[in-house]
Protein backbone atom coordinates (compact mmCIF):
# COMPACT_ATOMS: atom_id res chain seq x y z
CA UNK A 1 0.00 0.00 0.00
CA UNK A 2 1.30 3.43 -0.94
CA UNK A 3 1.56 5.49 2.26
CA UNK A 4 1.08 8.66 0.21
CA UNK A 5 -2.07 7.42 -1.46
CA UNK A 6 -4.95 9.86 -1.13
CA UNK A 7 -8.41 8.51 -1.72
CA UNK A 8 -11.54 10.40 -2.56
CA UNK A 9 -14.54 10.11 -0.27
CA UNK A 10 -17.22 7.47 -0.88
CA UNK A 11 -20.66 9.06 -0.47
CA UNK A 12 -23.87 7.05 -0.30
CA UNK A 13 -26.60 9.45 -1.48
CA UNK A 14 -30.11 8.31 -0.56
CA UNK A 15 -32.61 9.45 -3.19
CA UNK A 16 -35.86 8.25 -1.65
CA UNK A 17 -38.08 5.55 -3.14
CA UNK A 18 -39.06 7.17 -6.43
CA UNK A 19 -40.31 10.75 -6.21
CA UNK A 20 -37.39 13.11 -6.96
CA UNK A 21 -39.02 15.76 -4.76
CA UNK A 22 -38.12 13.53 -1.81
CA UNK A 23 -34.40 13.88 -2.52
CA UNK A 24 -32.93 15.78 0.42
CA UNK A 25 -31.02 19.01 -0.05
CA UNK A 26 -27.89 17.26 1.20
CA UNK A 27 -28.16 14.46 -1.36
CA UNK A 28 -28.98 16.98 -4.10
CA UNK A 29 -25.84 18.94 -3.24
CA UNK A 30 -23.73 15.77 -3.35
CA UNK A 31 -25.06 14.93 -6.81
CA UNK A 32 -23.99 18.36 -8.05
CA UNK A 33 -20.71 18.53 -6.15
CA UNK A 34 -18.52 17.35 -9.00
CA UNK A 35 -18.14 13.90 -7.48
CA UNK A 36 -18.23 11.05 -9.95
CA UNK A 37 -21.52 9.15 -10.01
CA UNK A 38 -21.76 5.42 -9.43
CA UNK A 39 -25.12 3.68 -9.69
CA UNK A 40 -26.32 0.08 -9.26
CA UNK A 41 -27.75 -2.16 -11.98
CA UNK A 42 -28.86 -5.79 -11.90
CA UNK A 43 -27.27 -6.62 -15.24
CA UNK A 44 -24.77 -4.90 -17.54
CA UNK A 45 -26.42 -2.39 -19.88
CA UNK A 46 -29.63 -2.53 -17.85
CA UNK A 47 -31.43 0.58 -16.63
CA UNK A 48 -30.96 1.76 -13.05
CA UNK A 49 -33.95 2.61 -10.87
CA UNK A 50 -31.81 4.89 -8.69
CA UNK A 51 -30.42 6.72 -11.71
CA UNK A 52 -33.94 7.20 -13.08
CA UNK A 53 -34.95 9.03 -9.87
CA UNK A 54 -32.16 11.57 -10.39
CA UNK A 55 -33.09 11.94 -14.06
CA UNK A 56 -36.75 12.57 -13.20
CA UNK A 57 -35.52 15.33 -10.91
CA UNK A 58 -34.03 17.11 -13.91
CA UNK A 59 -30.40 16.26 -13.22
CA UNK A 60 -28.23 15.55 -16.23
CA UNK A 61 -26.31 12.30 -15.92
CA UNK A 62 -22.57 13.10 -16.09
CA UNK A 63 -20.75 11.59 -19.06
CA UNK A 64 -18.39 9.70 -16.73
CA UNK A 65 -21.12 8.18 -14.54
CA UNK A 66 -20.50 4.46 -14.16
CA UNK A 67 -22.71 1.46 -13.41
CA UNK A 68 -21.78 -1.24 -10.93
CA UNK A 69 -23.41 -4.63 -11.42
CA UNK A 70 -25.10 -6.26 -8.42
CA UNK A 71 -26.91 -9.37 -9.73
CA UNK A 72 -30.23 -10.50 -8.28
CA UNK A 73 -29.29 -14.01 -7.20
CA UNK A 74 -28.86 -16.10 -4.06
CA UNK A 75 -25.85 -17.93 -5.51
CA UNK A 76 -23.11 -17.14 -3.00
CA UNK A 77 -20.28 -17.64 -5.49
CA UNK A 78 -21.80 -15.35 -8.11
CA UNK A 79 -22.62 -12.74 -5.50
CA UNK A 80 -19.15 -12.90 -3.97
CA UNK A 81 -17.44 -12.32 -7.31
CA UNK A 82 -19.80 -9.45 -8.18
CA UNK A 83 -19.24 -7.73 -4.82
CA UNK A 84 -15.47 -8.15 -5.15
CA UNK A 85 -15.50 -6.61 -8.65
CA UNK A 86 -17.67 -3.69 -7.52
CA UNK A 87 -15.50 -2.97 -4.49
CA UNK A 88 -12.27 -3.24 -6.47
CA UNK A 89 -13.55 -0.85 -9.12
CA UNK A 90 -14.77 1.58 -6.47
CA UNK A 91 -11.36 1.63 -4.78
CA UNK A 92 -9.65 2.03 -8.17
CA UNK A 93 -11.72 5.15 -8.86
CA UNK A 94 -11.29 6.51 -5.33
CA UNK A 95 -7.53 6.15 -5.75
CA UNK A 96 -7.73 8.89 -8.40
CA UNK A 97 -8.42 11.26 -5.51
CA UNK A 98 -11.90 12.26 -6.62
CA UNK A 99 -15.01 11.76 -4.50
CA UNK A 100 -17.56 9.18 -5.59
CA UNK A 101 -21.29 9.51 -4.98
CA UNK A 102 -23.18 6.21 -5.06
CA UNK A 103 -26.86 6.62 -5.94
CA UNK A 104 -29.18 4.72 -3.61
CA UNK A 105 -32.92 4.26 -3.98
CA UNK A 106 -34.75 4.66 -0.68
CA UNK A 107 -32.51 5.02 2.37
CA UNK A 108 -28.87 3.93 2.27
CA UNK A 109 -29.03 2.33 5.71
CA UNK A 110 -32.16 0.25 5.12
CA UNK A 111 -31.96 -2.91 2.98
CA UNK A 112 -29.61 -1.07 0.62
CA UNK A 113 -26.68 -2.16 -1.53
CA UNK A 114 -24.54 0.69 -0.28
CA UNK A 115 -24.01 -0.68 3.22
CA UNK A 116 -22.39 -3.85 1.95
CA UNK A 117 -20.31 -2.02 -0.65
CA UNK A 118 -19.04 0.47 1.94
CA UNK A 119 -18.15 -2.34 4.34
CA UNK A 120 -16.09 -4.22 1.73
CA UNK A 121 -14.36 -1.03 0.59
CA UNK A 122 -13.42 -0.23 4.21
CA UNK A 123 -12.02 -3.72 4.64
CA UNK A 124 -9.85 -3.42 1.54
CA UNK A 125 -8.88 0.24 2.01
CA UNK A 126 -9.37 1.37 5.63
CA UNK A 127 -8.14 4.86 4.73
CA UNK A 128 -11.24 5.58 2.66
CA UNK A 129 -13.67 8.04 4.25
CA UNK A 130 -17.31 7.01 3.91
CA UNK A 131 -20.28 9.35 4.24
CA UNK A 132 -23.88 8.13 4.33
CA UNK A 133 -26.61 10.62 3.47
CA UNK A 134 -29.94 9.45 4.92
CA UNK A 135 -33.14 9.53 2.92
CA UNK A 136 -36.84 8.71 2.88
CA UNK A 137 -37.42 4.97 3.20
CA UNK A 138 -39.95 3.24 0.98
CA UNK A 139 -42.14 2.24 3.92
CA UNK A 140 -42.25 5.80 5.28
CA UNK A 141 -43.26 7.06 1.84
CA UNK A 142 -45.81 4.24 1.52
CA UNK A 143 -47.39 5.15 4.84
CA UNK A 144 -47.66 8.79 3.78
CA UNK A 145 -49.09 7.89 0.37
CA UNK A 146 -51.77 5.68 1.89
CA UNK A 147 -52.55 7.84 4.92
CA UNK A 148 -51.58 5.02 7.25
CA UNK A 149 -49.89 5.81 10.56
CA UNK A 150 -47.12 3.31 11.17
CA UNK A 151 -47.06 3.75 14.94
CA UNK A 152 -48.58 6.04 17.56
CA UNK A 153 -47.51 6.58 21.16
CA UNK A 154 -46.68 3.14 22.58
CA UNK A 155 -47.47 1.12 19.45
CA UNK A 156 -44.82 -1.16 17.97
CA UNK A 157 -43.49 -1.55 14.45
CA UNK A 158 -41.56 -4.35 12.71
CA UNK A 159 -39.90 -4.21 9.31
CA UNK A 160 -39.02 -7.60 7.81
CA UNK A 161 -38.48 -9.32 4.46
CA UNK A 162 -41.44 -11.59 3.74
CA UNK A 163 -38.97 -14.35 2.85
CA UNK A 164 -38.78 -15.30 6.55
CA UNK A 165 -41.98 -17.18 5.87
CA UNK A 166 -45.64 -17.28 6.78
CA UNK A 167 -44.95 -18.82 10.20
CA UNK A 168 -42.77 -15.88 11.24
CA UNK A 169 -45.20 -13.33 9.81
CA UNK A 170 -48.11 -15.00 11.59
CA UNK A 171 -46.20 -14.87 14.88
CA UNK A 172 -45.17 -11.23 14.47
CA UNK A 173 -48.75 -10.16 13.79
CA UNK A 174 -49.40 -10.90 17.46
CA UNK A 175 -46.23 -9.17 18.63
CA UNK A 176 -46.43 -5.87 16.69
CA UNK A 177 -49.16 -3.37 15.92
CA UNK A 178 -47.85 -2.77 12.41
CA UNK A 179 -45.78 -4.98 10.12
CA UNK A 180 -43.95 -3.72 7.06
CA UNK A 181 -43.38 -6.67 4.73
CA UNK A 182 -40.69 -6.20 2.10
CA UNK A 183 -40.10 -8.36 -0.97
CA UNK A 184 -43.62 -9.77 -1.01
CA UNK A 185 -43.58 -10.68 -4.72
CA UNK A 186 -42.80 -14.42 -4.40
CA UNK A 187 -45.23 -14.91 -1.50
CA UNK A 188 -48.18 -12.70 -2.35
CA UNK A 189 -50.74 -15.55 -2.45
CA UNK A 190 -49.60 -17.03 0.87
CA UNK A 191 -49.64 -13.62 2.55
CA UNK A 192 -53.14 -12.85 1.31
CA UNK A 193 -54.36 -16.24 2.57
CA UNK A 194 -52.80 -15.58 5.99
CA UNK A 195 -54.40 -12.14 6.24
CA UNK A 196 -57.73 -13.66 5.29
CA UNK A 197 -57.42 -16.31 8.02
CA UNK A 198 -56.45 -13.67 10.57
CA UNK A 199 -59.23 -11.28 9.55
CA UNK A 200 -56.76 -8.54 8.64
CA UNK A 201 -57.56 -7.93 4.98
CA UNK A 202 -59.35 -4.67 5.79
CA UNK A 203 -56.40 -3.29 7.75
CA UNK A 204 -53.72 -4.20 5.20
CA UNK A 205 -52.51 -2.32 2.15
CA UNK A 206 -50.25 -3.14 -0.78
CA UNK A 207 -47.99 -0.49 -2.35
CA UNK A 208 -45.95 -0.92 -5.51
CA UNK A 209 -43.19 1.43 -6.73
CA UNK A 210 -44.13 4.15 -4.27
CA UNK A 211 -43.31 7.65 -5.51
CA UNK A 212 -42.65 6.55 -9.08
CA UNK A 213 -44.89 7.68 -11.97
CA UNK A 214 -46.43 4.19 -12.08
CA UNK A 215 -47.03 3.92 -8.32
CA UNK A 216 -49.88 1.57 -7.44
CA UNK A 217 -51.81 1.32 -4.18
CA UNK A 218 -54.13 -1.65 -3.62
CA UNK A 219 -56.36 -1.59 -0.56
CA UNK A 220 -58.36 -4.63 -1.65
CA UNK A 221 -55.40 -6.93 -1.09
CA UNK A 222 -57.52 -10.05 -1.68
CA UNK A 223 -57.66 -9.02 -5.35
CA UNK A 224 -53.89 -9.57 -5.62
CA UNK A 225 -54.19 -13.32 -5.29
CA UNK A 226 -52.85 -14.99 -8.41
CA UNK A 227 -51.32 -11.75 -9.67
CA UNK A 228 -47.67 -11.16 -10.53
CA UNK A 229 -46.58 -8.03 -8.70
CA UNK A 230 -43.49 -5.86 -9.13
CA UNK A 231 -40.33 -6.59 -7.16
CA UNK A 232 -40.43 -3.05 -5.77
CA UNK A 233 -43.48 -3.63 -3.64
CA UNK A 234 -44.33 -3.90 0.03
CA UNK A 235 -47.30 -4.46 2.29
CA UNK A 236 -48.42 -2.67 5.42
CA UNK A 237 -50.29 -4.93 7.84
CA UNK A 238 -51.96 -3.64 10.99
CA UNK A 239 -53.49 -5.67 13.81
CA UNK A 240 -55.80 -3.31 15.73
CA UNK A 241 -56.93 -6.13 18.04
CA UNK A 242 -53.46 -7.04 19.26
CA UNK A 243 -53.25 -7.74 22.98
CA UNK A 244 -50.47 -5.68 24.52
CA UNK A 245 -48.52 -6.33 27.67
CA UNK A 246 -48.27 -3.91 30.56
CA UNK A 247 -46.02 -0.92 30.04
CA UNK A 248 -43.64 0.47 32.65
CA UNK A 249 -44.30 4.19 32.87
CA UNK A 250 -41.83 6.85 33.88
CA UNK A 251 -38.17 6.52 34.77
CA UNK A 252 -36.73 4.03 37.16
CA UNK A 253 -35.87 5.55 40.48
CA UNK A 254 -32.34 5.02 41.62
CA UNK A 255 -32.08 2.78 44.62
CA UNK A 256 -30.31 4.64 47.34
CA UNK A 257 -27.86 2.64 49.33
CA UNK A 258 -26.48 3.52 52.68
Neighbours of 149 (CB within 10 A): 12
d(CA 99, CA 11): 7
d(CA 225, CA 187): 10
CATH class of 138-238: alpha beta
Q: Model's pTM, two decimal places?
A: 0.88
249 pLDDT tier (thresholds 50, 70, 90): low
* 146-193 pLDDT tens trace: 999 999 988 999 999 999 999 999 999 999 999 999 999 999 999 999
d(CA 209, CA 185): 12
CB burial class (10 A; 0-12, 13-18, 19+) of residue 205?
Answer: buried
d(CA 90, CA 142): 32
Angle at which helix 113-124 crosses helix 76-94, to 10 degrees, equals 60
Neighbours of 15 (CB within 10 A): 32
Fold of 10-133: Cobalt-precorrin-4 Transmethylase; domain 1 (3.40.1010)
d(CA 246, CA 111): 32
* 84-125 pLDDT tens trace: 899 999 999 999 999 999 999 999 999 999 999 999 999 999
Instruction: Decide whether 10-133 matches 138-238 in CATH topology.
Output: no
Amino acid sequence: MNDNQRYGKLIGASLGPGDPELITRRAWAALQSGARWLYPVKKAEESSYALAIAERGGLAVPADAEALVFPMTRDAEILGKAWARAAARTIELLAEGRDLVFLVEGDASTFATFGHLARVVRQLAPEVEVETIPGVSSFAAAAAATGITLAEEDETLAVIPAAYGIGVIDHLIDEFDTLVLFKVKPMIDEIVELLERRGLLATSCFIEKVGAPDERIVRDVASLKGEKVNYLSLMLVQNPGRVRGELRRGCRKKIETA
